């Protein structure tokens, strides 16, 4: 049996390793366009923050290990350009320009995501960067080192934009952030988004919201982001307006696409062609709250999807529950976490959402080091079902969100969640955990 995998990052290499453990006799061949395999993309901003760290620290397992120790036929510098589903063949070209082709019995697509590039003049100028691949990371790091960057403009204000903002600030770079839409973290209740915004501004970051961006220009040896009503000069411009699934190959091969044009997969990671699986950022998933297809590209899902595809291929049982959309990120001193649906998503999914935002404390009343923590919780009015939660605070937000995530997986009502026996000790929270306080308030509001 020959398994071909396209893409050698989290999903692809998780699948390759797992299938080799379960079926050592299978021939497993991986084609990877770049020279990099199996690295922690999420770690890039933190690596960039520290000039002393090598970018290759982020490599989880080196290509030679996959080849020599695991017997995986890993071919870097091999870009697959097409799939012939009827002949079960893939074809492409190598980095040095040579054509290649190969046959498969089973195929896994693990082609990841691509950064969205806004349709603006100037995105090709030197010093205008995106951050998706490890090579992007190296490029930014070298640029910072060699060009003596003292100011940067970040276009976009999502996770990556905010993490990169922190990284650049850590290197003493003056950062301004700009986006066309008026709301900062639009999925977050405004009072909580204001907490994050204030933290950024306190740390010296200037935010420009609701600003029409016309293009990026090179001027007198530096760059300038030209907006309708202002000009933002910078030594570096980072474009971080989001990512899209890299499903072009699948689409060309006639595979069915799902949420956000990602490759549609079932709970065993099979695409519309039973010989082809897809996992990681290129594939969609089912949302545990709505049951609907969604595209939420995150690292855990990629790893888990790779395993599930391998398990199913190997004949083991594999049926993924799906994603809750649990995510966490750090913004300067703040932890920001979410799981499940925000209010607008709940409405779009056909629920009648009721929402609370509470402010509690990270430690017991009067305990030294006590910091505020905010919790948003949203539920369905009719059924009382918990639909989502968000947290912001200097401590205790990141891991707390997981309790709510588990509750979403089990379709708990807020009343049920409010009865959970959560941990208490004065250094770690109030007697009523902030999540429980939010649940209690939500119950009161729903019944009032």
Q: Provide the annotated active-site residues.
A: 42
Q: Which of 65, 207, 314, 422 binds its own copies (CB under 8 A)?
A: 422
DSSP 3-state assignment of 320?
coil
Place of tokens 């590039």: 117
The CB-of-360 to its own copies minimum distance in angstroms stands at 13
CB of 200 to its own copies, least distance (A): 17
CB of 122 to its own copies, least distance (A): 31
| 63-71, 80-88, 236-244, 321-329 -> range binding its own copies (CB under 8 A) | 321-329
Pick from 243, 241, 179: which is nearest to 213 by CA? 179
Residue 183 vs residues 156, 210, 325: alpha-carbon distances, Å: 11, 7, 21
Q: Does 410 bind its own copies (CB under 8 A)?
A: yes
When asked if residue 320 is in the footprint of its own copies (CB under 8 A), the reply is: yes
CA gap 283, 298 in Å, rounded: 11
- Number of neighbouring beta carbons within 10 Å of residue 177: 24
Q: Which stretch binds its own copies (CB under 8 A): 82-90, 101-109, 199-207, 335-343?
A: 335-343
**CB-nearer residue toward its own copies: 23 or 93:** 23
Q: Of the two residues 74 and 435, which places its CB atom closer to its own copies in the complex?
A: 435
- Closest C-alpha to 203, from 330, 358, 363: 330
Instruction: Name which position in 97, 148, 291, 366 contacts its own copies (CB under 8 A).
Output: 366
Nearer to its own copies, 9 or 224 (CB): 9
DSSP state of 9: S
Distance CA 375, CA 28 (A): 46
Contact status: 290 vs its own copies (CB under 8 A): no
CA-CA-CA-CA torsion sign (61, 266, 283, 89): positive
| Contact flag: residue 446 with its own copies (CB under 8 A) | no
Q: Does 349 bind its own copies (CB under 8 A)?
A: no
Find the helix packing angle between 10-22 and 299-313, rounded to 10°: 30
**Part of the chain binding its own copies (CB under 8 A), chosen from 71-79, 207-215, 345-353, 426-434:** 426-434
Q: Which residues are within 8 A (CB) of 248 and not within 5 positions of it... i.e. 6 or more apart? A: none
> DSSP character for 260?
G
**CB neighbours of residue 181 within 10 Å:** 10
303 belongs to the binding site for its own copies (CB under 8 A): yes
Which parts of this chain interact with its own copies (CB under 8 A)?
A: 10, 40, 42-43, 46-47, 50, 53, 57-58, 60, 288, 298-301, 303-304, 320-330, 335, 337, 339, 364-368, 396, 398-403, 405-407, 409-410, 412, 416-417, 419-429, 431-433, 435-436
């Amino acid at each position: 049996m020959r398994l071909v995998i396209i893409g050698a990052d989290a999903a692809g290499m998780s699948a390759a390793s797992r299938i080799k453990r379960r079926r050592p006799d299978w021939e497993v061949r991986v084609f990877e366009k770049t020279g990099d395999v199996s690295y922690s993309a999420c770690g890039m901003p933190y690596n960039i923050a520290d000039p002393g760290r090598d970018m290759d620290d982020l490599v989880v397992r080196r290509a030679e290990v996959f080849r020599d120790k695991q017997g995986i036929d890993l071919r870097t510098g091999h870009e697959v350009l097409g799939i012939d589903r009827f002949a079960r063949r893939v074809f492409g070209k190598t980095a040095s320009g040579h054509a290649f082709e190969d046959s498969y019995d089973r195929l896994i697509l693990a082609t990841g995501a691509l950064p969205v590039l806004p349709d603006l003049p100037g995105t090709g100028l030197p010093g205008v960067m995106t951050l998706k691949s490890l090579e992007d990371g190296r490029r930014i790091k070298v640029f910072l080192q060699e060009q003596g960057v003292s100011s940067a403009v970040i276009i976009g204000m999502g996770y990556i934009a905010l993490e990169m903002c922190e990284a650049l600030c850590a290197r003493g770079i003056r950062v301004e952030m700009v986006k066309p839409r008026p709301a900062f973290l639009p999925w977050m209740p405004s009072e909580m988004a204001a907490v994050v915004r204030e933290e950024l501004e306190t740390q010296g970051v200037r935010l420009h919201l609701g600003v029409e961006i016309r293009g990026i220009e090179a001027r007198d040896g530096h760059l300038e982001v030209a907006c309708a009503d202002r000009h933002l000069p910078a030594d570096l411009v980072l474009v971080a307006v989001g990512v899209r699934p890299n499903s072009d190959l699948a689409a060309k091969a006639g595979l069915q696409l799902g949420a956000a044009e990602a490759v549609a997969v079932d709970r065993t990671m099979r695409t519309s062609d039973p010989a082809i699986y897809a996992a990681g950022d290129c594939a969609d998933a089912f949302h545990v709250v709505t049951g609907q297809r969604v595209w939420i590209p995150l690292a855990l899902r990629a790893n888990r999807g790779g395993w599930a595809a391998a398990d199913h291929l190997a004949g083991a049982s594999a049926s993924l529950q799906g994603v809750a959309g649990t995510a966490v990120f750090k913004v300067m001193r703040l932890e920001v976490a979410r799981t499940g649906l925000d209010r607008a998503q709940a409405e779009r999914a056909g629920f009648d959402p009721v929402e609370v935002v509470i402010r509690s404390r990270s430690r017991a009343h009067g305990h030294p080091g006590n910091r505020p923590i905010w919790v948003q919780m949203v539920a369905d009015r009719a059924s009382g079902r918990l639909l989502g939660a968000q947290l912001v605070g200097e401590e205790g937000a990141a891991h707390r969100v997981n309790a709510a995530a588990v509750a979403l997986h089990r379709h708990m009502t807020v009343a049920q969640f409010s009865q959970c026996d959560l941990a208490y000790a004065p250094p770690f929270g109030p007697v009523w955990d902030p999540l429980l306080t939010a649940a209690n308030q939500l119950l009161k509001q729903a019944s009032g």
